[in-house]
Amino acid sequence: MIAITGATGQLGQLVIEHLLKTVPADQIVAIVRHPAKAEALSQQGITVRQGDYTDPATLTTALQGVEKLLLISSSEVGQREAQHQNVINAAKAAGVKFIAYTSLLHADRSPLGLHVEHVATENALAASGIPYALLRNGWYTENYLASVPPALEHGVFIGAAGEGKIAAAPRADYAAAAARVIASEGHSGKVYELAGDNAWTLSELVAEVSRQSGKTVSYQNLSEADIAAALKSVGLPAGLADMLADSDAGAAKGGLFDDSHTLSQLIGRPTTPLSQSIKAIL
């Protein structure tokens, strides 16, 4: 049996879509925080089990009989080291034989503050003795797409990534890679640095938006403090705004760049180009 945590999340749902192409539904266990949200999964014949990263007993039960586990990192930034440790402990207790974990691109040398919890989880995996692979995911293209409509409205796209090259790819590309790794053999001990084939700066993203929409949008680069303040002023929670500002500042230092093409090699096709993602949002 193959289990996926975060199965009702955006990445998790896409992973399951890909998995179903090669794995029978009755071999897939979706571990979810709220089973009520997982009706579409059970209707496809997938086993849905409740498991909360903060509740070790639920995790141990949910992992019974599971051989391989895709641990999709929690969205609860700040809580994740303890939450992921709970999953790893439960996997050990349940006799799970392989874990793939969605980490962060170049986690061991990333300038993004987000790397801290991911490195802690990578270390916990190493200490567990369970064979594992690291799926060090780069940025989702979608992270920027929500800013496109307001940018078109105001004629300005703000950021703090400077001239940093960002090798993003849509969630669907990372999901295809995760499904491949969890459904096939030979990945134990591997560290996959996963990123889009073609990197771009935020100025280049904005130029593409202008080109496709026919509307002039300019890129305005702010300091980390100013972008954090701007995000808070439009209602983002302080912690999230600070995290996004820190990530943009990390991108300016090259923290979201990679040119290894490992993602396209894993999925057997080029990653989805930015122009295609922008076309879809427009």
Residues of this chain that interact with ligand NAP (CB under 6 A) are 6, 8-12, 33-34, 37, 52-54, 72-76, 83, 102, 137, 139-140, 143, 171
C-beta of residue 175 within 8 angstroms of C-beta of residue 137: no
Residues pairing with 102 in the sheet: 135
**Shortest CB 53 distance to ligand NAP, Å:** 4
Report the candidate in 3, 2, 9 with the shortest Cα–Cα distance to residue 34.
9
Specify the residue, 121 or 221, whose C-beta has the smaller distance to ligand NAP: 121
Specify the residue, 12 or 196, whose C-beta has the smaller distance to ligand NAP: 12
Specify the residue, 36 or 129, whose C-beta has the smaller distance to ligand NAP: 36
Specify the residue, 47 or 74, whose C-beta has the smaller distance to ligand NAP: 74
**Shortest CB 169 distance to ligand NAP, Å:** 9
**Residues whose CB is less than 8 angstroms from the CB of residue 123 and which lie 6 or more positions away in sequence, other chains included:** none
**Shortest CB 14 distance to ligand NAP, Å:** 8
For 175, the 3-state DSSP assignment is: helix
**Shortest CB 89 distance to ligand NAP, Å:** 14
**Shortest CB 51 distance to ligand NAP, Å:** 6
Query: Residue 167: CA atoms inside 13 Å, Cβ hemisphere, count?
Result: 26
Specify the residue, 59 or 228, whose C-beta has the smaller distance to ligand NAP: 59
Cβ-closest residue to ligand NAP?
9
The separation between the first and the last C-alpha atoms of the chain, rounded to the nearest angstrom, is: 40
**Shortest CB 155 distance to ligand NAP, Å:** 26
Specify the residue, 104 or 152, whose C-beta has the smaller distance to ligand NAP: 104
Q: What are the Cα distances from residue 220, in Å, to 146, 201, 206?
A: 17, 12, 10
How crowded is residue 198: how many other Cβ atoms within 10 Å of its Cβ? Answer: 18
Report the candidate in 59, 115, 67, 63 with the shortest Cα–Cα distance to residue 85.
59
CA distance 143 to 244: 10
